[in-house]
Structures are given as structure tokens and as C-alpha cells.
Structure 1
Amino acid sequence: MPDWEKRFRAPRVSLPDWAEDAPDRALFVSNATGTYELYAWDRATGAQRQVTDRPNGTTDGVLSPDGQWIWWFSDTDGDEFGVWMRQPFVPGDEAEAGADAGAGAGRDRQAGDETGRKTSQETDRASGGGPDEPATPGLAPSYPAGLALGRDGTAVVGRSTDEDGSTVHVVRPGAAPEEIYRHRESAGVGDLSYDGTLIAIEHTEHGDAMHSAIRVVRLDGAPVAELDDTKGGTQELGLSVMGFAPVAGDTRLLVGHQRRGRWEPMVWDPLTGVETALAIDLPGDVGADWVPDGTALLVEHSYQARSELWRYDLASGELTRLDTPTGTISGATARPDGTVEFLWSSAAEPPQVRSTSGRVVLDPPGPRAPGSVPVTDVWVEGPGGRVHALVHPPAGEGPFPTVFDIHGGPTWHDSDAFAAGPAAWVDHGFAVVRVNYRGSTGYGRAWTDALKHRVGLIELEDIAAVREWAVDSGLADPERLVLAGGSWGGYLTLLGLGTQPEAWAVGLAAVPVADYVTAYHDEMEALKAMDRTLLGGTPEEVPERFEASSPLTYVDAVRAPVYISAGVNDPRCPIRQIDNYVERLARRGAPHEVYRYDAGHGSLVVEERIKQLRLEIEFAQRHLRPRQER
């Protein structure tokens, strides 16, 4: 088996999440069976068991504070539209927790069977745990928009549908769900206070889906306080809920804000209105979470595609760096014993769940993934400022065939983290360049917010600047340049092939936006709100902007062979708009291939991921002339 396939097949585990009041009970995601599923872990005994077993995988799960229930989201074949289910952590927990949810479970279970969802009996046999049951009887299927679980069994459920917009429901044990919030714009549940009396809701009622405000309400929906940085200034600023203090009687809320041009935390008490700024003077974006006793914060600092951990003492203001290796930390949690556990990797080293105690916390079964090459940092002057790119060089001397692997989002960024995809291209002799174009996170608010109204075209200007550097530096062969990406990266791939047709030899687009107008009308409601923010309105209100930013507008200019892969159940980049684009390619006989698979926005099945990358590599190799032939 080649190393590139081993990297995909090697078992991986996520950072374990643990129950607040039962820290020995944990939940994590693993691909140990070949499909990403949820696993329960009793840390006291070391026992592990698989919780879910579905053909297209499961990754969304939450533990109740007492550790007795595992909540998981059940959609249909990756369409992200479904209901919350729950399962006892161990058999017998459901009896201890009471039969409050059982009264309505039968009706919902039957409805689930009729829609093709796996029955509780089937999941029970697969997992070895207690039976699954609908967690929120009475709530119809929807897109998830946040979930918070209380200590008394109360759940706060965020939902989104095309018909209702955004809603928030309180589900008390034995009672029908109560709707406490509704709005057409996107909103979601941020957190529930320790004592279960306050709910923090992130909302965009002002119409800018990129910058949320925060409203704190009581369980009946009565407003308590509002924090809104989108008003009163020359620019709209965003807020995010980081969590209520994990201490009884403490109503402080940790909030992320952008008041100084980057993400950083502050503490806000919605009952008193007191805001406490924090002296965390680190470059780049700063995130945080509470330590279990509420006296300090675990700070995650992201800067120039790498990250590190710090501890901030709230009483003294002392900031102390924790000892972590150079690379990327993809999540961290402070444990009650004072240690910190974190998921770490670098481009050269596969991920591990480590602890500040020096040990590996959770080691997946089976062989470890082979390593890859370290990345090189490149800074290139672009039309909007310096652009940061990460370069994965293959062995030998250039110029090399080069893949520009464009990240999705767009509010995301590539980092010095282990990724099987780029490593596979390097193994096949390609250089890989990943560009953190304008719109990427981690480089300040102005960089992230730069996309409005010229969506897609702005990002491609930055990619073009890095492409010019790659060719001039001797890294990249100008006649063997591959533009590739998934989701928003797939969108930029198709748009780039049409607006820069002479620059690219091959295009590889996975789950892309291809026809922006049709995509808008078919996609999930939350993404409609984001598109209205990015483009300044609907396709009917600003048709010229949608036209300028749509790959379909430029499809007749495409010269490079195009490979497209698409999930037939994708709610984010729906299949109809991709079919429209492919039909236009076919009409003029343009070289292209399309691979459709039975899943949503990507696949959680390891063999499917390997198959898709193998097809992309083979397509590129067929259409790129070897260097000696020219």
C-alpha cells in the first residue's frame, strides 16, 4: 500500500470532549472502522465503544453535563437535515436519568423509520450501548443551529429551515418543546448558563451574516441583555459566544470580539452589564475557554498559520505560555486536575492527542500514519497586501508540476497541520501551494472582511500573485499548474478557470459553487444569509454582482480540462447548479469528467475519500504533459 493511502487509512481520533460533572466520561470521533463515527470512552476503566454506525458516518455529538446521555445528530445520507437523537452512555443510564423522554419517543421513532433513518434497535446492535431515542420529541427535522444541555435535563435547541428561518426551542423533561425565538435571519444557540437560567443566542437580525450580535434571554425568551457591536461605528464588528462561566452562581459570559481589529476574548456579565477587557497582547487571533473552576482562561493563540496555548489568570492578569510543539493545535481543553489536553499536528507529523503532563492521552488503534514533508512559509505582495502561502516541496529540483490547493470557507485558513491530501500530491512529485487569500481567518478582521461585493474575484487576485511568485522563483512549471479545491476552494477553482483561462493546465473542483444564482436558490437558509451579506443582496436585487462572481458566467472561456466531484445530497453546494455548469461544458465539447457520489458536502467514509483523490491524481496526470515532451 502506498504511503499516501496509508495516511488516509491510519486510524485517527479527535480531541475527546468530557462531561462537565462526570469528567471520566468522554466522547470522541474516530475513523477506526473506515467511517468517521462517535465513540464513548470511560476514562476510569479505559473502556471504549462505538456509539453510532451509519453508512455515511456521524461526527456531531454532545455529552450531557452528568455524562449519562450522548446526543448525536441524525441526518439522511449527509444532507445535514435531521433530528437530535440520544443514547445512554452505558446501559442502565436511561433508567437512572428517568423515563421523561420515553413518552413521546415511540411516535418519533416510527417517523424516523418511515424516512429511512436507522431504528434504535439497529443502532443498539451496532454500538453495544443502550437504545437510541429521539432526544427532542415534537421538533420536526431541520438544519442544526446550536445545542445546549442543562443539568436538570432541559435542552436548548437551535434550528434552521427554509420555511421558518432560525428558531430556538426549550425542551424540558416530559414537556412539549417551547419556541422562544424566531427570525428570518440566521441565529443559533451559543450556550446555557451553569444554573440553566440564562441562554446566550448569537443572531444576525441586522442582516450581516458575517458579524453576529449576542442576546441573553431567560428560558421563557424574556430578554435580559444585548451586546451588539454592529451599531454606532463606521464598521460592523462581530461577536461570538465562548461560554458561560462553569461555576454555580456565576453569570459571567466569555465573549469573542473584534474591537481591536482581530478576534480576542473579554468577559461580560449580562445581569450587571459590566464588560471586562483582558490584557492578552498577542499578535493574531486569540480564542479562549474557561478552566473548570472559572478562575482562569485557556487561551488558544493563532498566528501566521500556527498556534499555541497560554493560561490567563483572571485575578492577576498573568499570561503564561504552555509548552506545546510548533505546529497547529486543532482544539484544547483544560481538565479538572490542572492539565491541558490538546490535538496537535504539523504538516510533517500526523496528529496526536497530547497533554501538558507530557503523555499521549488517546492513542488510536493500528499503525500510525506515515509522515510527510514540512512546509515552507512564503509572503508575496498582492493587490490587497502581503499574502501568506504555505509550500509543500517534493524531492528533487524544480520547476515542478504544482497544485494550488485552495481552502474552503472562505472564513478559514490553511495552517501548518497534517493533511493527507497535500501529502499525497507531494508523494506523486507535485509541489503543493496553499494560499491564505483575503477572506481567510487568522490575519485580522480587515483581511477576513475584504471580500464583499467582488466575491471570488478578490481571492483570485491573491492566488494570481502567489502563482506568479511560484513560477518566477523556479518552483512551479508554468505549463503544469493545477488549480484545485473543495467547497469554496472548488468555487474559486471553477471561477479561476474561467477568468484566468491561460494560467491553468488542469482544474479539480470538489463540491463547488458552479452556478451562483441557482446555488443561492437551492442552498440551506444559513448560506443564503451569508451570500446576501457577501454580495449585498439577493440575485434579484444585485444581479450584476451574482453574474460577475458566478463561474457559470465564464464557462465558455474555460480551456483547461475540468474534473468535478459532487455529493448528490449536498445542502451547501447543491447538485442542480453543478449539473447546469456541466451541461454548458458538455454543450461545447470541453474536456471534463464528473463524479457524483451518494453523500453530502464531502464524505466521512475513508475509502470514498481515497477513491476521490485517486481519480483527481489520475485525471491530472493524464492531462499534464511530461516535462521532457515539450
Structure 2
Amino acid sequence: MGGMTDAEAMPDWEKRFRAPRVSLPDWAPDAPDRSLFVSNATGTYELYAWDRATGEQRQVTDRPSGTTDGVLTPDGTAIWWFSDTDGDEFGVWLRQPFGGGEDVPAAPGLAPSYGAGLAIGRHGASVVGRSTDEDGSTIHVVRDGAEPVEIYRHRESAGVGDLSHDGTLIAVEHTEHGDAMHSSLRVVRLDGSTVAELDDTEGGTVELGLEVLGFAPVAGDTRLLVAHQRRGRWEPMIWDVATGERSEPALGLPGDVSAEWYPDGSGLLIAHSHEARGELFRYDLASGEAIRVDTPKGSVSGATARPDGSVEYLWSSAALPPRVRSTAGGVVLDPPGPRAPESVPVEDVWVDGPGGRVHALVQRPAGASGPLPTVFDIHGGPTWHDSDSFAAGPAAWVDHGYAVVRVNYRGSTGYGREWTDALKHRVGLIELEDIAAVREWAVASGLADPERLVLAGGSWGGFVTLLGLGTEPGVWALGLAAVPVADYVTAYHDEMEALKAMDRTLLGGTPEEVPERYAVSSPLTYVDAVRAPVYISAGVNDPRCPIRQVDHYVDRLAARGAVHEVYRYDAGHGSLVVEERIKQLALELDFAARHLGTAGTAGADRPSGARTEG
């Protein structure tokens, strides 16, 4: 009998990362057979054009660091894609013909910047949102053969929401009031003059937020679909910017609700997110009736209504890998190659915490009872939430005998505005209180081994990880922090301008204005108390959690001989290269195995950038 092939010998956790995936395809409104999607088919996430009429698929971008930001022109003749440098998110928009050809600047005359929204018009004018440390937020109207015209500028964060069907009105989301968590809306003409304003400010203080969901997809229609929080959760509202008339669908759904227009403007495709799961509805504007769109239990991470009335959506669950499905039947787009191996389903746990009931998602190896080594995998954002969706990282830990607990702490979305907005001033410490309540349940229930508790996370989750290791040094056996905030003051001064605005909102000012709040929330303040071994990975081009502040934290660990390893890689805020993602997780698994005595990962080469001391 012959031996196993390399693919057969590969462990399931690696197969999940390598299995080809596709995003929900976007399509050109005036040429619906022309679509654009993202796939990792080559081993790096890149953009692909798909002509549904012929079935032809073509790779649009091919860069070492990968590419995910792209938009089709309404007529489907071209693709705009954002070109940055090695994942630093600072770059320019390029344009390429749909059928292939040379990349040319889509907005000649605009210098590189961070992106702040894009709307491509049908009638020769497009709108580009930009952000730089020097200029703050700016918005420019771009026309072929003409210099870009700046129509908006402000120090606080702002961006392009949408452009009306006839190309005469621009919806702008802005935070001129200084609260980066809650936007107000302004509709302007192409010359920047104001048509209408909508905000939820009271006495200069923003109590609620607004988001642009899109102009009606009908010529001459001045209705703008927006999301509001007036009843304590996200819900849609239709605002006629010409008449001022507002109307709201009567849905009565308990969770956050988003929406998009059906292509003929007759109805709304409703996306309802509640307690870590999602479902879809069609809302008919004439009758006021909401009809559920049949989807399996799990998470819908994107959906779009097609001209024929069918709905395409990207669905997965913790146990089943994602697929792009259609209500017309079957799978819309399936990448070539093997499917990702399945994992185990999540269990829902609700625990009483200091700020209210905390929802956690728990996965454990099939048939395992406990107590188990347990990874508390903390999500980033912080305005995000973990859901019942497929994730290769947690599934890998389960394969290696760990339980995985994911906590939707205060600050997470999907549980109402009050829960999200509770994250103020004591950032990091609030999240740790909720995590502690779930941790106590996990130990008391017999799930988690109290001697083998791992605190882990990326981005904001990496920040919470480092903060927890320093403020709760006797609790955690190990810490794994990816692209973290480690020195909050230095991070503030080095990060992109939009994130500075968010930090000012969360902490109530700059490091110079409220130094005590930055100190109490900075992992660097507590670094000398850290007792557990620490593994840190960071991208050297990261504009969100810049490398200099990570180095400050690592230098402090090294100075006192603390056990730690650090891995620096050539990318930004994470990597779009599949092999790099596998390498990073293999290193984390190996680090945990060596320090906890659990099952390790064969072939996890120690990187040249890794360093162990103590």
C-alpha cells in the first residue's frame, strides 16, 4: 500500500487555513453579470473579476502582501482598487479595466492617504474620502481629465457614505462634534454646499449614532437609507433628503438591524443580528410586510439582493465552513480545491457580570468533559463581536485539546447601544471584568483547568491580553497577544488619525489631557507585574497598533528577564498571506505546548525574529 500524500498527512487545522475561500461577490448595478470578489486561491487574499455571463474568472491583483479593497464601477467596465505599501493602509486608488489591462491612477492628483470611503458615480464624477495626520479628513470630487476638487475638510474623522443614483448628492458621515463612536450625517451637493443635516445631538453631546446605508437605487429618488440607535439598538430609517420626511420599517426585532435596498427600490433586504447569530428578511415598502428569507441557523456575514429578486448570502457556523448561497437554490460561487474540514459547534453561555449578563461562545473537543486547558480568545474592535461563524483559529486550538471561550464583553456590538457604549474611560479594565465573570463560571463548571488558563487575542484583544497579564498576574498561565496595543501613550501618538479620534472618545481626551486614564489602561504600566510567559506577534508596517510601542513593552520584559517571545513580520495589522497565518498560529501552539505541557505542533519552526528571555 502506498503512503499518504502531503495533503492527506496535513492536519485538519492547517487544511482549514489553506482551503480556498471566497467573499460574497459584489456586482455592478448597471451590469449585474459583472462581479468582484476576494479569494485566497493563490495562497494570498486577492481581488478577482467574474463575468457571470461567460463564467470567466480573472485575478485582478497580485501583490506580496495581498489586496482586499476593491469596487466595481456602476457600469461594470472597470475596477477601482486600493494600493497601499506592505499592508500599511496608506495608499492611492488605482483603476483597471474589467477585462484586464494596465493599472492607472483612478484619482490623479490625490496624494497617498488612509482611505475614508469611496463612491463611484455614473455621470463622470466620483467621490473619494481621505484621512492624513496633516489634513485630518478630506473629501474630494474626482472627474476624468480634471484636477480633484476638495469639498470637505475637518480635523475630526469623517468619510464618504454614498453618492445618489444621479450623481448629484453626497452623503457624508462626520464626527465634527468630537465623538468618534457616534456619527452625524450631512448631505451635500458636488460643490460641497449643504442640502440637509441629520444628527442625534443634544446640547452638543452626541447621545446616539447614525450610519449611511445607501441612496435609493432609482434615478431621481432622493431617499437615503440610514441606520439609527434611537431605541437602543441599530435600526433602519428612510430619510427623504429633499423633503425631510422620515419613515421607519415596523420590524419589532430584538437585535441590531441593518438593511440595503432591493435593486428596484421597492423593498429592503433586512439583516438581523441577535445574540451572535444572523437572519434575513425582505421588507416590502408598499405593504409594510416583513417576510423571512430562509437561511440555516448560524451567521450571515453578508447578503445582497439581485435584480431577479433572489438573495445571495455568505453563511457559516462554528462547525460548518462558509459558502456563498442563493435563495434561488444552490451554491453561487465555490472555489476550486478541497473544502475546509468541519469543526465543533459552539455552546451559548450567559453569565451574570458587573455590568449585566455576559454572552460567551464555548467550543470544546468532541467528547471532552474537563477540566481542560482553556483559551480565552478575545475579539478585537472593540466595537465588534464574536459570532456563531466558522473560524480556523479557534478550531485549531480545539483540535489540540483545548476548550475555547470567546466573550462578548461590554463594548461589543450586537447587544444594544447601552452595552456597546459602556466602554468608556476605564477601557481594557471593563472588558477584563466581564472576562473574569465568564472565567469564574468556566472553572466552577469544571470546563477549565484553573492552572492552564490562556489569555489570547489580536488587535484590541491583544491589548486586553497584555493588560490582563499585568493586572491579574496570578490568574493566567500564558498570554498570546497579536498586533496589540502595549504602550497606550506611544500607540496614540503613532497611530492613524481616525484611531486617535476613537481613543479620545473612549478615554475622554488626549494623553496630555487625561494622563491618568491612559496610564491606568496601558499594559506598559503593569509590565513589571507580569508573571506568565508572553508571546507577542506584530506587523512592522502596522498603522493601527504601531511597532514602536510594542518594542517599548518588549524591552521592559527583556530588562527584567521575563519569559517572552516576540515575532515581527513584514505586514500591517495582520497578514493576508495564508502561509504566514499558519506560521503564526503554529508558533502560538508550540509556545503553549512548551509552557503548559500540552500537545504541540510538529514543524513549527522558530522564526528568526523570535526571542526568548528569562
TM-score by length of 1: 0.93
Cα displacement (A) at 1:300: 0.2
Aligned partner letter, 2:217: P
1:237-295: CA deviation from partner (whole Å, max 9, x where unpaired): 00000000000110100000000000000000111111112201101100000000001
Decide whether the 8 Å contact of 1:211 with 1:238 is kept in 2: yes
Match of 2:82 in 1: 73
Name the SS of the counterpart of 2:557 in structure 1. helix
Give the match's secondary structure for 2:153.
strand
Counterpart CA distance in 1 for 2:205 and 2:507 is 19
Identify the residue that residue 125 of structure 1 maps to in structure 2: none
Correspondent of 1:605 among 548, 559, 577: 577
- Please tell me the root mean square deviation across aligned C-alpha atoms, in Å: 0.9
Q: Is structure 2 residue 498 aligned with structure 1 residue 526?
A: yes
* 8 Å Cα contact 2:507/2:517 also seen in 1: yes
- Equivalent of residue 592 in structure 2, options 620, 623, 629: 620
Q: Does 1:49 align with 2:58?
A: yes
**Which residue among 329, 341, 344 is the counterpart of 1:358?**
329
Q: How does 1:338-353 map to 2 (within 5 A)?
A: 338-353=309-324
User: 5+ residue gaps in structure 1?
Assistant: 91-128
How far is 1:626 from its partner?
Answer: 5.5
Q: Is the 8 A contact 2:174 2:184 kept in 1?
A: yes
Does the C-alpha gap of structure 1 residues 240 and 605 become closer, same or farther in structure 2, counting only changes over 3 Å? same
What's the counterpart of residue 322 of structure 1?
293
> C-alpha displacement at 1:394, in angstroms?
1.0
User: Is 1:18 equivalent to 2:27 in the alignment?
Assistant: yes
* Counterpart residue identity of residue 614, structure 1: A
Q: Give distance in 2, aligned partners of 1:183 and 1:543.
A: 25
Q: Which runs of 5+ in 2 are unaligned?
A: 1-9, 600-614
> What's the CA shift for 1:357?
1.4
1:198-209 correspondence to structure 2 within 5 Å: 198-209=169-180
In structure 1, C-alpha distance between the alignment counterparts of 2:21 and 2:205, rounded to whole Å: 46
Query: Matched residue of 2:202: which SS?
Result: coil
Once the two structures are superposed, what CA deviation does each residue of 1:136-173 show, in whole Å capped at 9, x if it has no partner?
Answer: 00000000000000002311000000000000000012
3-state SS of paired residue (2:538) = strand
Could you tell me which residue of structure 2 aligns to residue 336 of structure 1?
307
Pairing 1:22-421 to 2, within 5 Å after superposition: 22-90=31-99, 129-232=100-203, 236-395=207-366, 396-421=368-393
The 5-angstrom pairing of residues 461-610 of structure 1 reads 461-610=433-582
Q: Which letter maps to 2:436?
A: A
- Which one of the candidate residues 415, 424, 428 is aligned to 1:456? 428
Tell me, yes or no, if structure 1 residue 443 matches structure 2 residue 452: no
Shift of 1:232: 4.8
CA offset at residue 441 of structure 1?
A: 0.2
* Structure 1 Cα separation of the partners of residues 406 and 329 of structure 2: 32
| Shift in alpha-carbon separation, 1:432–1:240, aligned structure 2, 3 A | same
- How far 1:174 sits from its partner (Å)? 1.1
Q: Secondary structure of 1:191's partner?
A: strand
Could you tell me which amino acid in structure 2 is paired with residue 143 of structure 1?
A: Y
Contact 1:488 1:512 in 2 (8 A): yes
Shift of 1:464: 0.4
Amino acid paired to 1:231: E
- Residue 302 (structure 1) shift: 0.2
- Check whether the contact 2:179–2:206 (CA below 8 A) recurs between aligned residues: no
1:427 partner amino acid: D
Residues 243 and 618 of structure 1, relative CA distance in 2, 3 Å threshold: same
Work out the CA distance in 2 between the residues paired with 1:45 and 1:514. 51
Check whether the contact 2:349–2:361 (CA below 8 A) recurs between aligned residues: yes
* C-alpha separation in 2, matches of 1:184 and 1:590: 41
1:211–1:230 contact (8 Å) kept in structure 2: no
Secondary structure of 1:534 counterpart? helix
CA 1:234–1:605: 2 relative to 1, 3 Å: closer
Q: Distance in 2 between matches of 1:224 and 1:437?
A: 40
Q: Deviations over 1:490-510 (max 9, x none)?
A: 000000000111110000000
Contact 2:410-2:431 at 8 Å conserved across structures: yes
Contact 2:511 2:518 in 1 (8 A): yes
DSSP 3-state at the match of 1:435 = strand
2:472 and 2:104 mapped to 1: Cα distance? 52
What SS does structure 2 have at the residue aligned with 1:367?
coil
Secondary structure in 1 aligned to 2:321? Answer: coil
Shift of 1:315: 1.2
Q: Shift in Å at residue 615 of structure 1?
A: 0.1
Partner residue in 2 for 1:108:
none
What is the distance in 1 between the residues matched to 2:590 and 2:409? 28
| Separation (CA, whole Å) in 2 of partners of 1:220 and 1:572 | 33
Structure 1 residue aligned with 2:3: none
> Distance in 2 between the 1:324 and 1:141 partners?
42
Do the aligned partners of 2:374 and 2:453 also contact (CA within 8 Å) in 1? yes
1:340 Cα offset (Å): 0.1
- Larger mean Cα displacement after TM superposition, 313-322 or 156-165: 313-322
- The answer on whether the counterparts of 2:256 and 2:416 sit within 8 Å (CA) in structure 1 is yes
How far apart in 2 are the matches of 1:275 and 1:338?
25
Per-residue deviation at 1:41?
A: 0.0
Cα-to-partner distance string for 1:96-151 (whole Å, 9 max, x where unaligned): xxxxxxxxxxxxxxxxxxxxxxxxxxxxxxxxx21110100000000000000000
Residue equivalent to 1:430: 402
Measure, in 2, the Cα distance between the counterparts of 1:226 and 1:379: 41
Report the secondary structure of 2:61's partner residue.
coil
The answer to whether the 8 A contact 2:542-2:571 is kept is yes
Q: Percent identity?
A: 83
Count of residue pairs brought into register by the alignment? 589
SS where residue 422 of structure 1 aligns? helix
Q: Which amino acid aligns with 2:143?
A: R
Q: Is the 8 A contact 1:480 1:625 kept in 2?
A: no
Q: How much has 1:234 moved relative to structure 2? A: 7.6
For the 8 Å contact 2:182–2:206, the answer to whether it is kept is no
Equivalent pair of 1:5/1:610 in contact (CA under 8 Å) = yes
Distance in 2 (CA, whole Å) between partners of 1:593 and 1:24 is 50
Q: Distance in 2 between matches of 1:597 and 1:34?
A: 17
- Name the amino acid aligned to 2:117: G
Dislocated runs of 4+, deviation >4 Å: 232-235
Write the deviation string for residues 449-490 of structure 1: whole angstroms up to 9, x where unpaired.
Answer: 001111110000000000000000000000000000000000
1:364 Cα deviation from its structure 2 partner: 0.6
For 1:457 and 1:415, the matched residues in 2 are separated by 23
Normalised by the length of structure 2, the TM-score is 0.95
Is contact 1:470–1:476 with CA below 8 Å preserved after alignment? yes
SS at match of 1:451: coil
How far is the alpha carbon of 1:9 from its aligned partner? 0.1
> Which residue number corresponds to residue 118 of structure 1?
none
Amino acid at match of 2:557: L
Match of 2:608 in 1: none
- Alpha-carbon distance in 1 for matches of 2:200, 2:434: 29
**Secondary structure of 1:607's aligned partner:** helix
1:230 corresponds to which letter in structure 2?
T
